[in-house]
Structure 1
Amino acid sequence: MKAVVLAAGEGTRIRPLSASVPKPMLPVADRPLAAHTVDAAVDAGADEIILVIGYEAETVEEHFGSEYRGVPVSYAIQEEQAGTAHAVNAAGEHLEGPFAVLNGDNLYDQAAIDRLFTECPAVCAIEVEEPRNYGVLSTNDGVVTDIVEKPADPPTNLANAGAYAFPAEATEWLDVPASERGEHEITDVVAKVIDQFTVTPVTLERWMDVGRPWELLEANEWKARRTRGARRGRRERRGPPGGQRGRRSGCDGQARRPDRGPALIRSGATVGPNAYVRGATLIEEGATVGNAVEVKNSVISRDASVSHLSYVGDSVLGRDVNFGAGTTVANLRHDDGDVKFTVKGDRVSTNRRKFGVVVGDGAKTGINTSLTPGLKLDTDATTTPGEVVERDR
């Protein structure tokens, strides 16, 4: 079965991290977010991957190439971001026979994807507390009987998780009219399949839609732990070990072990002496963590630098960020409430008691800068030495 992976979106809710990198290519543990989805499809038996690309398309193509883990890779261009059915329709010329569709910015448990590929036609679902924010499935005797998009009065708490196995006939039904939101919805295609076929609900144990910066942290918290076991023995390290082995893997021999891990320090990263790296921290290739720096439960992207005597907690730093010496990130409110963050102009709760800052590519802080919880620094933003930054910039 071919697998269509949707990876054309920019990710406006996760800005500024997506200013130059498409959301599906943001780092989650040892690979881009979309690579976890592609790996799930390959492990489930996909015989070809079709990546639907658009925003910063060359970044996706450079990573996956024409073959990935021995499986052929094809590309379809979605010129306009006009909905999920529109995206799948862009891949129509590559489709023949039954096919699967997965979102490149979602994480799925492998067992469910394995079952999805054997139960065609099928749709993945997960029980949620607030189904009004999702497409909602109705079932009867192990069969999907209906799907409705973001209903005001949900019939069940079974949310559509954005993974489907379609019969070959569905290729003729992809050109659906635009919804009230102005998008061509894949749920309209699913509804037609439900009308004409017996559709199996495949329940996920765990699933995650990565749409906002703190969800990228959560994704790393999930996948870093799995990576720790799967990649044990390779040169990338789960936290900086001591001795000569640490120096060979790009970690200074005096760097301290993480207390609760699993930190993942990629090959080519540098961690200075007396640094303390802990929690589910990811330090990407080319990143530098200086002398006596503490990094806790954060993502330090490629070629970013955190200079000596700094503290970074529960934060995401984009590419080529430079934190001046003594930069301190505050990640906890004095009232102990959930930290809020600005998403598309609205201040919303992260539902996290601890959350630091999100820093766009190329931003720089002056020495001894203090950054308050829930702060956003845009691409190429700067601060002055000794500044206390309390508002987004």
Structure 2
Amino acid sequence: MDAVILAAGKGERLRPLTENRPKPLLPIAGKPILEHIIEKIYDKVDNIYVVVKYKREKIIEHFNNYDKIVFLNQGDLEGTGEALLTAENYISDEFIVINGDIVFEDSLDEILNYDYAIAVKKVNNPENFGVFLVDEKNNIIDLEEKPKFPKSNLINAGIYKLKRDIFKYLKEIPISERGEKELTDAIKLLIKEKEVKAIELKGYWNDIGYPWSLLEANKYFLDKIETKIDGEIEENVVIKGKVIIEKGAKIRANSVIEGPAIIKSGAIVGPLAYIRPYTVLMENTFVGNSSEVKGSIIMRNTKIPHLSYVGDSIIGENCNFGCNTITANLRFDNKPVKVNIKGKRVESVRKLGVIMGDNVKTGVQVSFMPGVKVGSNCWIGANCLIDRDVEKNSFIYKKDSLIIKKLQ
């Protein structure tokens, strides 16, 4: 049996994190979303076909050494149905399809027992997903896409067990109103003619659709780690809880690490730094003297040298923070932080800091309000309070009138 992973999307709701990388490469607990998926299925299938398009060269570079993986380039037409059609000439019989932007705990053994099956999950907000109706035998009888008034709380979890005849249905469906060929439209035809089982996923599942989804999944997987310390630890370092410190990382004197946390190879912490729970420092990062990082993902080569605070934030690659850069992460009224997503204000979670792209530099005394997004390649001058989103390639600074008088 083979697997097809749909990893061609742009991940626009995750901007600016996806300005320079495809969504499947966003890190959760120190490794990409796509790597989590591949690890779950690697020993269950003969071949893994990864359909790529947006920033595909970065996915190919990262996974090029996996012997079971074949990369397929999606054409000009958009949509999950078109992505799956890309694999038609490679599939001989039954196969599994997985969306490339989900993480899950289930082994998938049950779903593999059927000719046709779709993973479902019970959620509290089904109106944001595709919703399934099932009969008393757990056969799927209807599918509604993001209904205003859901008839069920069983949503499409993005995992399908199918056979080759799905390609026939994919060729029959028209292009959707969004200008895409949708896999779910083909599923609607399939359930009219075939018995398709709804298999409820066991354990954790998350569709990484928003930046705070990434932080939520990061917390879940960090809770599963076990302590392993291979890096260099200097004197008077305090390590509490479950912590992974990889070989090549260095924790300098008088720093405190509270797990669960992961510190990747090449990272340097301290002296006198404080790493709080649910933090991941990716490769070659630096958190320096008297800086504090809490509940955040800090991507490769980013430097937070001294006297700064980063809380509940995601910071891209190759960023550099000036002294006393501060991220606020909580509203005075304790209500969910609102974030601009594709032109709309969306409620996120109670605590959310800054969402920052790559190659951002801040001057001294820069502060960010909760939920602000900063695009890639920005410079933010000294003493700025950033209380709104900043588009990529921007230089933000303010002019103060400096008055100097001679003393009499």
TM-score computed with the length of structure 1 as normaliser: 0.91
Structure-1 separation of matches of 2:247 and 2:51: 38
Contact 2:245 2:263 in 1 (8 A): no
The answer for the alignment partner of 1:56 in structure 2 is: 55
Pick from 102, 107, 113: which aligns with 1:106? 102
Measured against aligned partners, the alpha-carbon deviations of 1:243-266 in whole angstroms (never above 9, x if no partner) come to: 9x979541224254433x211111
The answer for the alignment partner of 2:402 in structure 1 is: none
The answer for the alignment partner of 1:386 in structure 2 is: 383
The answer for the alignment partner of 1:188 in structure 2 is: 185
Contact 1:53 1:77 in 2 (8 A): yes
Runs of 4+ in 1 over 6 A off after TM superposition: none
Measured against aligned partners, the alpha-carbon deviations of 1:54-112 in whole angstroms (never above 9, x if no partner) come to: 011111111111525xxx1111111336111111011212111101110111112223x
Pick from 282, 300, 303: which aligns with 1:302? 300
Structure-1 separation of matches of 2:356 and 2:363: 14
Pick from 184, 189, 197: which aligns with 1:200? 197
Larger Rg: 2
Contact 2:261 2:278 in 1 (8 A): yes
Gaps of 5+ in 2: 239-243, 391-408
Pick from 132, 142, 145: which aligns with 1:146? 142
The answer for the alignment partner of 1:87 in structure 2 is: 83
The answer for the alignment partner of 1:131 in structure 2 is: 126
Structure-2 separation of matches of 1:6 and 1:384: 40
Matched, 1:335 2:333: yes
Structure-2 separation of matches of 1:167 and 1:365: 53
Residue identity opposite 1:25 in structure 2? L
Contact 1:241 1:251 in 2 (8 A): no
The answer for the alignment partner of 2:401 in structure 1 is: none
Structure-2 separation of matches of 1:255 and 1:6: 46
The answer for the alignment partner of 2:321 in structure 1 is: 323
The number of residue pairs the alignment matches comes to 380
- 1 or 2, which has the higher helix percentage? 1
**SS of corresponding position for 2:351:** coil
Matched, 1:172 2:168: yes
Contact 1:307 1:326 in 2 (8 A): no
**SS of corresponding position for 2:355:** strand
The answer for the alignment partner of 1:24 in structure 2 is: 24
Structure 1 residues 186, 391: closer, same or farther in 2, change over 3 A?
A: same
Q: How much has 1:331 moved relative to structure 2? A: 0.8
Q: How much has 1:193 moved relative to structure 2? A: 2.6
Structure-2 separation of matches of 1:93 and 1:271: 50
Residue identity opposite 1:53 in structure 2? V
Measured against aligned partners, the alpha-carbon deviations of 1:238-296 in whole angstroms (never above 9, x if no partner) come to: xx9949x979541224254433x211111111112111111211110011111111000
Measured against aligned partners, the alpha-carbon deviations of 1:290-314 in whole angstroms (never above 9, x if no partner) come to: 1111000001001111121100000
Gaps of 5+ in 1: none
Structure 1 residues 204, 309: closer, same or farther in 2, change over 3 A?
A: same
**SS of corresponding position for 2:216:** helix
Structure-1 separation of matches of 2:21 and 2:247: 29
Q: How much has 1:388 moved relative to structure 2? A: 1.7
Structure 1 residues 248, 20: closer, same or farther in 2, change over 3 A?
A: closer
Measured against aligned partners, the alpha-carbon deviations of 1:306-348 in whole angstroms (never above 9, x if no partner) come to: 1211000000000111111111111111122111111112221
Contact 1:16 1:379 in 2 (8 A): yes
Structure 1 residues 49, 241: closer, same or farther in 2, change over 3 A?
A: farther
Measured against aligned partners, the alpha-carbon deviations of 1:14-48 in whole angstroms (never above 9, x if no partner) come to: 111111111111111121111111212225x0211
Structure-1 separation of matches of 2:250 and 2:231: 10
TM-score computed with the length of structure 2 as normaliser: 0.88
Structure 1 residues 33, 242: closer, same or farther in 2, change over 3 A?
A: same
Structure-1 separation of matches of 2:159 and 2:36: 14
Contact 1:37 1:103 in 2 (8 A): no
RMSD: 2.2
Structure-1 separation of matches of 2:40 and 2:236: 30
**SS of corresponding position for 1:101:** strand
The answer for the alignment partner of 2:363 in structure 1 is: 366
Contact 2:312 2:351 in 1 (8 A): yes
Report matched runs for 1:209-224 at 5 Å.
209-224=207-222
